[in-house]
Amino acid sequence: MSNRTISGPCVWVSFLNVYLLHMYNDVPSNAKHLPTIESVRRVDHNLTYNEFFHKFLINNEPCIIDTAITESWPCRQQWVLKDAPNFEFLGRLFGQCLVPISDCKRRYYNSQLKNDMNMQEYLDYWVKYRNSDYTSDMPLLYLKDWHCTKIFSDLVYYEVPHYFASDWLNEYYIAKPELDDDYMFVYMGPKGTWTPLHADVFFSYSWSANIVGRKRWLLFPPKEENKFRDSYGQLVYDVLSEDLKDHSKYKEYDSQNLKCFDVIQEAGEIMFIPSGWHHQVWNLEDTISVNHNWINGCNIRTIWLSLKQQLSSVMKEVEDCKDMVNWVEHCQLMLKVSHGMNYIQFYSFISFIATKRLDFITKGSRVNSFGKYEFGINHCSFDLTMLKTVLEDFIIETKEKSIYSLISADDQPINLLEKINFVLQDEDNDEIFELTLKMSP
């Protein structure tokens, strides 16, 4: 086993106060009129794991990590030719694959119209569009949210940076292949492709590494997104839209009092987007990126609070049907559709993570991440401390809303909480401790 360790001090009690935040997205290069606050911090790859943990994960602040981490990735060497996508290589590797495509010129409700396309067909379009000097007469097609890693599971084309090793979401899905899902994606598209204003799924963290090309990000701190909501509470599609000048519709919008980070991400750099930061992003050049959505002990409370808020919205929406049979179950179905996760799935997720940490402490089982990293006792104890706080509130919430029986018929959540309390009973919440992350053998 490598002796490489990443460690530093933490105070447990400071981790419990996490804000409910929102989402992220993409932006164009002519966003001159939007006021900005100080630039996103650029950090050196020598920053320790614990420094990153404290400065960015706990504080929920964005940053850009320098190019050194991605330099050795196979995709940065093989997918790139003369500072542009290597279309021929990508065609040989993925040509027969069906990929998800968004049409950036065609709006569908508050998103872009989506379809599937053969990869070789998409690459042929891209080359033709590029050779036309990006004519406005052609569609503007963006390959998004492609589960490349899941589909090509034997292909090693990047390594998850150690800063993002504590990734419960993908730990869960990797361990459960029967669910046939993950939150590891490839994006690729020509100059000018973009993503409308949004926040990430479940209000999770995300990271995005540019393999080739450049992106421009407009990042909005939590609560700033409310300035982009219309009188019905809906987010504007495009933060540069002239519609925002209609103050009868967008009452909170004031371009002179808007906080915004306006950031250029270069090839090889990695952008960290915190929980609940809305964003809009444009590709300034032909661009390929690797992206993860992820959850861990630092933002699990944010994820839980957002889920609670979404359920409240669902219940309010259908409260006139409250007398119908199975109304509670129906609300959970609606929550799954609108939010991507309901309370039943959330409990399955957190109980899986909690059990893994409990088994490490009580049985000595390893907690492995991406087949490369292992977590020590303090990291697992931290995870359990965060889960304990969420689980306590989860039990209260589900009992108050008559959901508890849907989660478990035999008090599994309460039993799990008792196990966590037993393991943590000797821990001092004010103790300063070290988190360690080791390389697997």
pLDDT score of 387 more than 50: yes
Q: What is the pLDDT of residue 37?
A: 63
Q: What is the pLDDT of residue 261?
A: 95
In a domain, 224, yes or no: yes
DSSP-derived secondary structure letter, 39: P
pLDDT score of 28 more than 70: no
Radius of gyration from C-alpha coordinates of the chain:
22
- Of all residues in the chain, the percent with pLDDT exceeding 90 is 85
In a domain, 6, yes or no: no
Residue 230 shares a structural domain with residue 244: yes
Model confidence band, residue 255 (pLDDT cutoffs 50, 70, 90): confident
Residue 315 shares a structural domain with residue 218: no
In a domain, 25, yes or no: no
Beta strands in 44-118 (DSSP E): 63-65, 80-81, 84-85, 98-108, 111-118
pLDDT in tens, 315-332: 999 999 999 999 999 999
In a domain, 175, yes or no: yes
Residue 342 shares a structural domain with residue 200: no
pLDDT greater at residue 128 or residue 8: 128
Mean pLDDT of the chain: 90
Q: What is the pLDDT of residue 432?
A: 39
Residue 264 shares a structural domain with residue 354: no
Q: How many whole angstroms separate alpha carbon 112 and alpha carbon 162?
A: 33
List phi, psi (to 5°) of 200: -70, 155
Q: Please give the average per-residue pLDDT across 162-188, as a whole number.
A: 97
In a domain, 17, yes or no: no
Q: What is the pLDDT of residue 384?
A: 97
Q: Please give the average per-residue pLDDT across 258-262, as a whole number.
A: 94
Beta strands in 161-273 (DSSP E): 184-189, 194-198, 205-212, 215-220, 261-265, 270-273
Residue 92 shares a structural domain with residue 131: yes
Instruction: Decide which of 234, 267, 294 is a domain's last residue.
Output: 294
Q: What is the pLDDT of residue 427?
A: 59
Q: How many whole angstroms separate alpha carbon 416 and alpha carbon 414?
A: 5
- Of all residues in the chain, the percent with pLDDT exceeding 70 is 88
Residue 121 shares a structural domain with residue 226: yes
In a domain, 415, yes or no: yes
pLDDT in tens, 357-380: 999 999 999 999 999 999 999 899
Residue 317 shares a structural domain with residue 434: yes
Instruction: Decide which of 294, 328, 359 is a domain's last residue.
Output: 294
pLDDT score of 149 more than 90: yes
Q: Please give the average per-residue pLDDT across 49-57, as a whole number.
A: 93
Model confidence band, residue 434 (pLDDT cutoffs 50, 70, 90): low
In a domain, 16, yes or no: no
Longest distance between any two alpha carbons in the chain, whole Å? 68
Residue 275 shares a structural domain with residue 368: no
Residue 147 shares a structural domain with residue 248: yes
Q: What is the pLDDT of residue 1?
A: 34
CATH of the domain at 57: 2.60.120.650
Q: Please give the average per-residue pLDDT across 337-342, as a whole number.
A: 96
Q: What is the pLDDT of residue 214?
A: 99
Q: Please give the average per-residue pLDDT across 377-395, as a whole number.
A: 96
Residue 163 shares a structural domain with residue 208: yes
Could you give the C-alpha distances from 299 to 55, 146, 266, 314, 402, in angstroms and in order?
14, 25, 27, 23, 26
Q: What is the pLDDT of residue 211?
A: 99
pLDDT score of 4 more than 50: no
Model confidence band, residue 122 (pLDDT cutoffs 50, 70, 90): very high
pLDDT in tens, 79-111: 999 999 999 999 999 999 999 999 999 999 999
Instruction: Decide which of 239, 263, 294 is a domain's last residue.
Output: 294
Q: Please give the average per-residue pLDDT across 71-82, as a whole number.
A: 98
Q: Which two tokens stand for residue 403?
A: 């959901």
Side by side, which strands form the sheet with 184-189? 41-43, 63-65, 270-273, 205-212, 287-294, 184-189, 141-146, 98-108, 111-118
Model confidence band, residue 409 (pLDDT cutoffs 50, 70, 90): confident
Domain tally, the chain: 2
Residue 132 shares a structural domain with residue 243: yes
Residue 43 shares a structural domain with residue 122: yes
Q: Please give the average per-residue pLDDT across 412-416, as a whole number.
A: 98
Range of the domain at 46: 37-294
pLDDT score of 26 more than 50: no
pLDDT in tens, 126-135: 999 999 999 9
pLDDT score of 12 more than 50: no
In a domain, 289, yes or no: yes
